C-alpha cells in the first residue's frame, strides 16, 4: 500500500488538515437537486457575541452526526448555518467597549452607535463559527446567514407588515418585563428565575368607616403598594363575604380602594386577601382588566419611585421598601415579617432584578396564531423527542399571553412604524412614507424601538432559504427535517418557529424536534461564569482532540436528559481512538504488499463468518437507533463492537493466520479480506461521531477513495447472516474467558502452556470445539486439546472451570510449579488466618459493636466474608495438591 498511518494517533496533526480538505473540496455544500431526496437541518444561530461552550458543543455535535449520517445514506443533506445579532447582548458588549474608550453611546447618536455595532460584528461575529469548525461541524458555510443581513431583514419587515395588516400586531399598554439597567423591555427568554431569600410583609389595610377593622394582606414587594387599586378575595371564601364591595384606606396615601371578588385568589395561600397592582404584576393586570381597575405606574424606568409614591419619590425601589416598612411599623400597620424563599426574575445579561411594568409597547396577538402550533403537535405533524416535552409545550400554549416584541434598543430590526410630527398619525410601512396620509405633513418620524431578537429567529427555517422570495432552495429544502436544540428554549424559540412556519408557509417548519439536556459539571451543577465551573471545549480539543470530545458528549446521552462532564470520560474516549488507530495500523501492516481478493464463502473460517455476521447485525441495529434519534445507544453499540468483538476477539483470533500467510495463502487471504472489510464497515458506522480519525484511517486504508464522508452508509446484507457461526463463536468465547479467568486467579503466566480437556455430553458442542481448535488454541495457551464426552483419562488433581454446556479441566502440574505453588498457598493461608482472627476479634468486641457506626460494622462484616471465601479457595487448592 502506498500510504501508511503514523505510529501514534495525534489529533492536532490531522484535524485542521482534514477540515481544510473537506471545505476546499466542497463536501459540505448542498444545492437543490430533484434527483435526490433532501434532508435539512437549520443550525440554532449562535450569538455574534458568543464563545463556544459545552452546550454549543453538544448541540452542534448532535446535528453534525445526523447530517453526516444522512449524507452517507445518499440524501442531499443541507445543514444551514448562521448567526444571531443578539440585540441586548451585543448592545451591552459594545456599550462596555465604548465606555473603556471614554465614549458614551448617546454622544455618538443612533447612526454612529450602529456603525460601532457593525464594526463589532465584523470583528467578533465569525469567532464562534471558527470554533464550531474546530468541532468538525460539516455545515454548508457557503450559505452562512446573519439575522440582520438584507434577506433576513426583508423577511422580518414582510412578516411585521403582514401580521399588522391582519390585526395580529398591535400597539398597546400591557405588562412587560422591564430591565432598569438596560432600560428595555425583555422577553421571557431573557428572564432567569432564581431562588432568593426574601420576606412576606403582612400589612393591615383599614376598612373605611369601621374603626379598628382591617384586612391583612401579605406581599413580597411593599414598595408597589402605591400602585394598588384594589384588594381581591376569593368569591367562595366565607371569611370575607361581608367585606366584598367595601372600601379600604390604602396605607401611607390619601386614596381609598375597593375589595373585589375574583377566583384568581387562592383561599389557602397567605391570608386569602391579595393586593391588586395592575401596573406592576402580570396576574394583577389581568384581574384589573376584568374589573376595570385603574393602572397606576409608581416606578420609573431606572427603578426609582415616581411622584405617585409621595414622600418616597426619587428613592431607589429598595430604599423605598426599607423606609416604607419602617413607617408602616410606626403607624401600627405592619403585622409581622415572615421569611420567605421565592423565585425572582433577573435579566440574564446583567443580573438585575426585572421589574414587571405596564408600558406602551408592540405586541403580537397570540390567541389565533398559536392554534396550528398546538394542532401540529397533537396530530403528529411535529414530533417532540422525548415525548414528555409535549407536557411542557402544551402547558405554555394553554397559558399563552400576547408577545411583547418591542425593545428599547438601537441594535436590531427597527419597527417599521412612522408618526406624523404634526398630527401624530401612525403609518406602518416597509419604507418611510413621503407624507402623512391624514394631514399631508412631510415630516414623519420612525418609531425608535427595535424588534425582539426572537422575532427574526422565529423565521429562521424559511428566511435562511430566501423567503419572502420564492426561491428554488425554499421549494426544495423547506420544510426542514429536524431541529436539534436544548429543552431550555422550547417556549422562546421552538414554539415561535412553529407558529411562524404555519402562518407564513402554511406548514410546519420541521417534522421532528430533538431536545437535548444541559451539560453539567462533574458535581451535577449548571456550568456558569459565577461558579467558575465552565469548561472550554477548545481546551478539551487542544488536549484530546475533537473526536474524543464529540464521543464523550454523545456516549450515554439520551434525548432531553442532562449529562455530567468528566475529564476521565474524555480520556477514555481518547483511549478508544488510540485503540482504533493501533488496530488499523496492525491491519494495514499485514496488508502491506498483499494482493487481497474477495474469498469464496466456503473459504471463510467460522470466525470470519461470525465477525461479518456481527458487523451486519450491528449495521442494522445502529441504523434503526439513529433513525429513532437514539444517538447515545447507537454509538455505544459501535464502541462495544470495535473494542470488544473486533479488536479484543477477532483480531487476536485472526493473528494466527496473518502470521502464517506464507504457509496457507488462502486462509491468510480470507483473514485479511475480513479484517479490511469489517474495519471499513466499522469506520463508516463510527464516522458521524468521530469524523477526523475515521477519515484519516479510511482514506489510508482505501487510497483510491476521496473521503469517507461521501462513502455509502453500510446496509444489512442477508448473505452475511451466519447465525450458526455466531453461536459457535459464542461457545468459544465462553471457553476462552473461563480458562483465562482461572489462569488469572491462579496467577499462571500466559507463556506457561497446559493441556486442556473439554468434557461435554452435547455432541454438537463437542463438534464445535473440535473443529475450531486452531481458532482458540493460542488464546488459551494450550499445549494440546482433548474434546471428550466423559472424564476418562483426567487426573484427580486437575483444576476445572464450568462453562455453558461443558466442563474444562487442566492438570494442575501443567499450570504451576507444585512446590512453589504449595509454598505460596501456605503463606496465603497464614496471612488469611491472621486477618480472620483480627476480623472475628473486632466483631466479637462489644465495645466496637456498640460504638462504631453501622457503616463501619458492615464494612468489617464484608471483609470477614471475603476472607472466609478466600480461605475456602486456598484450603481447597491445598487439599487437591495433597
Same structural domain, 610 and 713: yes
Give the side-chain half-sphere CA count within 13 A for 171.
15
Output the domain CATH number for residue 862.
Answer: 1.10.287
Share of the chain above pLDDT 90, in %: 73
Q: Where is pLDDT greater, at 68 or 93?
A: 68
Output the domain CATH number for residue 233.
Answer: 3.90.740.10
φ, ψ for residue 304 (rounded to 5)? Answer: -95, 160
Split at pLDDT 50, 70, 90, the class of 460 is very high
Same structural domain, 215 and 301: yes
Q: Where is pLDDT greater, at 714 or 401?
A: 714
Classify 312 as helix, strand or coil: helix
| Dihedral (CA of 500, 501, 507, 508) sign | negative
Q: Which among 45, 71, 75 is positioned nearest to 59, based on CA atoms?
A: 45
The rounded distance, in Å, linking the Cα atoms of 118 and 692 is: 35
Same structural domain, 491 and 597: no
Asked if residues 712 and 681 have their Cβ atoms less than 8 Å apart, the reply is no
Long-range contacts at 739-748 (CB < 8 A, ≥ 24 apart): 739/780, 739/801, 739/808, 739/810, 740/779, 740/780, 741/801, 742/799, 742/801, 742/810, 743/781, 743/815, 746/799, 746/815, 746/816, 748/815, 748/816
pLDDT of amino acid 713: 98
Q: pLDDT digit string (tens) for 164-214?
A: 999 999 999 888 889 988 888 877 667 777 787 888 999 999 999 999 999
Cell 479441566 appears where? 809
Q: Which among 680, 639, 664, 863 is positioned nearest to 774, based on CA atoms?
A: 664
pLDDT of amino acid 182: 84
Q: pLDDT digit string (tens) for 226-266?
A: 999 999 999 999 899 999 999 999 999 999 999 999 999 99
Same structural domain, 792 and 859: no
Q: pLDDT digit string (tens) for 489-525?
A: 777 789 999 999 999 999 999 999 999 988 887 888 8
Q: Which among 561, 558, 565 is positioned nearest to 536, based on CA atoms?
A: 565
Q: Which among 95, 88, 99 is positioned nearest to 48, based on CA atoms?
A: 88
In the predicted model, is pLDDT for residue 530 greater than 70? no
DSSP code for 645: I
pLDDT of amino acid 882: 67
pLDDT of amino acid 1: 42
What is the number of other CB atoms lying within 10 angstroms of the CB of residue 13?
12
Whether residue 396 is contained in a domain is answered as: no
Asked if residues 510 and 481 have their Cβ atoms less than 8 Å apart, the reply is yes
The rounded distance, in Å, linking the Cα atoms of 785 and 182 is: 82
Q: pLDDT digit string (tens) for 565-615?
A: 889 999 999 999 999 999 999 999 999 888 899 999 999 999 999 999 999
The rounded distance, in Å, linking the Cα atoms of 672 and 596 is: 7
Same structural domain, 92 and 231: no
Output the domain CATH number for residue 153.
Answer: 3.40.50.620
Same structural domain, 292 and 353: yes
pLDDT of amino acid 230: 97
In the predicted model, is pLDDT for residue 399 greater than 70? yes
Whether residue 372 is contained in a domain is answered as: no
Same structural domain, 586 and 716: yes
Asked if residues 77 and 107 have their Cβ atoms less than 8 Å apart, the reply is no
Same structural domain, 764 and 823: no
What is the average pLDDT value for the chain, to the nearest integer? Answer: 92
pLDDT of amino acid 189: 63
Cell 470488544 appears where? 644
The mean per-residue pLDDT over the stretch 372-385 comes to 96
pLDDT of amino acid 875: 87
Give the domain-ending residue among 721, 743, 777. 721
The rounded distance, in Å, linking the Cα atoms of 438 and 423 is: 8
Is 543 a known ligand-binding residue?
no
Q: Where is pLDDT greater, at 685 or 656?
A: 685
The mean per-residue pLDDT over the stretch 843-867 comes to 89
Output the domain CATH number for residue 746.
Answer: 3.30.2320
Share of the chain above pLDDT 70, in %: 99
The mean per-residue pLDDT over the stretch 821-827 comes to 83
Whether residue 441 is contained in a domain is answered as: no
Whether residue 287 is contained in a domain is answered as: yes
Same structural domain, 797 and 832: no
Split at pLDDT 50, 70, 90, the class of 662 is low
Same structural domain, 133 and 247: no
Same structural domain, 575 and 712: yes
Split at pLDDT 50, 70, 90, the class of 479 is very high
Whether residue 433 is contained in a domain is answered as: no
The mean per-residue pLDDT over the stretch 83-109 comes to 90
Whether residue 25 is contained in a domain is answered as: no
Same structural domain, 681 and 734: no
Whether residue 475 is contained in a domain is answered as: yes
Contacts of 263 (CB under 8 A, 6+ apart): 234, 235, 236
In b/e form, how buried is each residue of 179-188, taking b as 16+ CB within 10 angstroms? bbebebbbbe
Classify 332 as helix, strand or coil: coil
Q: How far is CA 336 from CA 272, 275, 513, 683, in A?
A: 16, 16, 50, 70
Q: How many domains does the chain have?
A: 5
The rounded distance, in Å, linking the Cα atoms of 882 and 822 is: 10
Whether residue 703 is contained in a domain is answered as: yes
In the predicted model, is pLDDT for residue 762 greater than 70? yes
Cell 387562592 appears where? 266
Q: Is 582 exposed, middle or buried (0-12, 13-18, 19+ CB in 10 A)?
A: middle
DSSP E strand stretches across 589-743: none
Split at pLDDT 50, 70, 90, the class of 870 is confident
Residues of the domain holding 293: 184-357
The mean per-residue pLDDT over the stretch 115-130 comes to 91
Q: Which residues pair with 803 in a beta bridge?
A: 806
Cell 423577511 appears where? 155
Split at pLDDT 50, 70, 90, the class of 664 is confident
Q: Which among 599, 392, 484 is positioned nearest to 42, based on CA atoms?
A: 484
Amino acid at each position: 500500500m502506498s500510504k501508511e498511518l503514523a505510529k501514534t494517533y495525534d489529533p492536532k496533526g490531522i484535524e485542521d488538515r482534514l477540515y481544510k480538505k473537506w471545505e476546499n473540496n466542497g463536501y459540505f455544500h448542498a444545492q437543490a437537486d430533484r434527483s435526490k431526496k433532501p434532508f435539512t437541518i437549520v443550525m440554532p444561530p449562535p450569538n455574534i457575541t458568543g464563545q463556544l461552550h459545552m452546550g454549543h458543543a453538544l448541540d452542534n455535535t448532535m446535528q453534525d452526526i445526523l447530517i453526516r449520517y444522512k449524507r452517507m445514506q445518499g440524501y442531499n443533506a443541507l445543514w444551514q448555518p448562521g448567526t444571531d445579532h443578539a440585540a441586548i447582548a451585543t448592545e451591552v458588549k459594545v456599550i462596555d467597549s465604548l465606555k473603556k474608550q471614554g465614549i458614551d453611546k448617546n454622544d455618538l447618536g443612533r447612526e454612529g452607535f450602529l456603525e460601532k455595532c457593525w464594526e463589532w460584528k465584523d470583528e467578533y461575529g465569525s469567532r464562534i463559527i471558527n470554533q464550531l469548525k474546530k468541532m468538525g461541524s460539516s455545515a454548508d458555510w457557503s450559505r452562512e446567514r446573519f439575522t440582520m443581513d438584507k434577506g433576513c431583514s426583508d423577511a422580518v419587515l414582510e412578516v411585521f407588515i403582514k401580521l399588522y395588516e391582519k390585526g395580529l400586531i398591535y400597539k398597546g399598554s400591557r405588562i412587560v418585563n422591564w430591565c432598569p439597567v438596560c432600560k428595555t423591555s425583555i422577553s421571557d427568554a431573557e428572564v432567569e428565575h432564581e431562588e432568593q431569600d426574601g420576606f412576606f410583609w403582612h400589612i393591615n389595610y383599614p376598612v373605611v368607616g369601621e374603626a379598628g377593622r382591617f384586612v391583612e394582606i401579605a406581599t413580597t414587594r411593599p414598595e408597589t403598594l402605591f400602585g394598588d387599586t384594589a384588594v381581591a378575595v376569593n368569591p367562595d371564601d366565607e371569611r370575607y363575604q361581608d367585606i366584598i364591595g367595601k372600601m379600604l384606606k390604602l396605607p401611607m396615601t390619601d386614596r381609598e380602594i375597593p375589595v373585589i371578588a375574583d377566583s384568581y385568589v387562592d383561599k389557602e395561600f397567605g391570608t386569602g386577601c391579595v393586593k391588586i397592582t395592575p401596573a406592576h404584576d402580570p396576574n394583577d393586570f389581568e384581574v384589573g382588566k376584568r374589573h376595570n381597575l385603574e393602572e397606576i405606574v409608581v416606578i420609573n424606568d431606572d427603578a426609582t419611585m415616581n411622584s405617585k409614591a409621595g414622600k418616597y419619590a426619587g428613592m431607589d425601589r429598595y430604599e423605598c421598601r426599607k423606609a416604607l416598612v419602617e413607617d408602616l411599623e410606626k403607624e401600627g400597620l405592619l403585622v409581622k415579617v415572615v421569611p420567605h424563599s421565592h423565585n425572582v426574575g433577573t435579566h440574564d445579561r446583567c443580573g438585575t432584578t426585572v421589574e414587571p411594568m405596564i408600558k406602551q409597547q408592540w405586541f403580537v396577538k397570540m390567541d389565533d396564531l398559536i392554534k396550528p402550533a398546538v394542532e401540529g403537535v397533537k396530530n403528529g405533524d411535529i414530533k417532540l423527542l422525548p415525548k414528555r416535552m409535549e407536557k411542557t409545550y402544551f402547558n405554555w400554549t394553554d397559558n399563552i399571553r400576547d408577545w411583547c416584541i418591542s425593545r428599547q434598543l438601537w441594535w436590531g430590526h427597527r419597527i417599521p412604524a412612522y408618526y406624523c410630527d404634526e398630527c401624530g398619525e401612525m403609518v406602518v410601512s416597509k419604507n418611510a412614507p413621503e407624507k402623512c396620509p391624514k394631514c399631508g405633513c412631510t415630516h414623519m418620524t420612525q418609531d425608535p424601538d427595535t424588534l425582539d431578537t426572537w422575532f427574526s429567529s422565529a423565521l429562521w427555517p424559511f428566511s435562511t432559504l430566501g423567503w419572502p422570495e420564492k426561491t428554488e432552495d425554499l421549494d426544495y429544502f423547506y420544510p426542514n427535517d429536524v431541529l436539534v436544540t436544548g429543552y431550555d428554549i422550547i417556549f422562546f424559540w421552538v414554539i415561535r418557529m412553529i407558529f411562524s412556519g404555519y402562518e407564513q408557509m402554511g406548514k410546519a417548519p420541521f417534522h421532528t424536534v430533538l431536545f437535548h439536556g444541559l451539560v453539567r459539571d462533574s458535581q451535577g451543577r449548571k456550568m456558569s461564569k459565577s461558579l467558575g465551573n465552565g469548561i472550554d471545549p477548545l481546551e478539551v480539543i487542544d488536549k484530546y482532540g475533537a473526536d474524543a470530545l464529540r464521543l464523550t458528549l454523545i456516549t450515554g446521552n439520551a434525548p432531553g436528559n442532562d449529562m455530567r462532564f468528566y475529564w476521565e470520560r474524555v480520556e477514555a474516549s481518547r483511549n478508544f481512538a488510540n485503540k482504533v488507530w493501533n488496530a488499523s495500523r496492525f491491519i494495514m501492516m499485514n496488508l502491506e504488499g498483499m494482493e487481497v481478493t474477495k474469498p469464496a464463502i466456503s473459504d471463510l473460517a467460522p470466525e470470519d463468518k461470525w465477525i461479518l455476521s456481527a458487523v451486519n447485525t450491528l449495521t442494522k441495529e445502529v441504523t434503526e437507533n439513529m433513525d429513532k434519534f437514539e444517538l447515545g445507544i447507537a454509538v455505544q453499540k459501535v464502541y462495544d463492537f470495535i473494542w470488544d468483538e473486533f479488536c479484543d476477539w477477532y483480531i487476536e483470533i485472526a493473528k494466527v493466520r496473518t502470521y502464517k500467510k506464507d504457509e496457507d495463502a488462502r486462509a491468510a487471504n480470507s483473514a485479511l479480506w475480513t479484517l479490511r472489510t469489517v474495519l471499513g464497515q466499522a469506520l463508516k458506522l463510527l464516522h458521524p461521531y468521530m469524523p477526523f480519525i475515521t477519515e484519516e484511517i479510511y482514506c489510508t486504508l482505501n487510497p483510491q477513495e476521496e473521503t469517507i464522508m461521501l462513502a455509502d452508509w453500510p446496509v444489512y446484507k442477508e448473505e452475511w447472516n451466519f447465525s450458526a457461526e455466531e453461536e459457535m463463536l459464542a461457545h468459544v468465547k465462553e471457553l476462552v474467558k473461563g480458562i483465562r479467568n482461572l489462569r488469572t486467579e491462579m496467577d499462571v503466566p500466559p507463556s506457561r502452556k497446559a493441556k486442556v480437556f473439554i468434557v461435554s455430553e452435547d455432541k454438537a458442542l463437542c463438534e464445535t470445539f473440535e473443529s475450531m481448535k486452531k481458532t482458540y488454541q493460542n488464546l488459551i495457551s494450550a499445549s494440546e486439546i482433548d474434546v471428550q464426552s466423559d472424564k476418562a483419562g483426567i487426573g484427580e488433581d486437575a483444576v476445572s472451570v464450568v462453562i455453558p454446556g461443558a466442563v474444562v479441566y487442566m492438570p494442575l502440574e501443567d499450570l504451576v510449579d507444585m512446590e512453589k505453588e504449595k509454598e505460596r498457598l501456605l503463606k496465603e493461608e497464614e496471612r488469611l488466618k491472621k486477618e480472620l482472627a483480627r476480623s472475628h476479634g473486632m466483631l466479637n468486641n462489644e465495645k466496637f459493636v456498640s460504638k462504631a457506626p453501622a457503616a463501619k460494622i458492615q464494612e468489617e462484616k464484608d471483609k470477614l466474608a471475603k476472607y472466609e471465601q478466600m480461605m475456602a479457595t486456598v484450603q481447597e487448592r491445598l487439599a487437591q495438591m495433597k
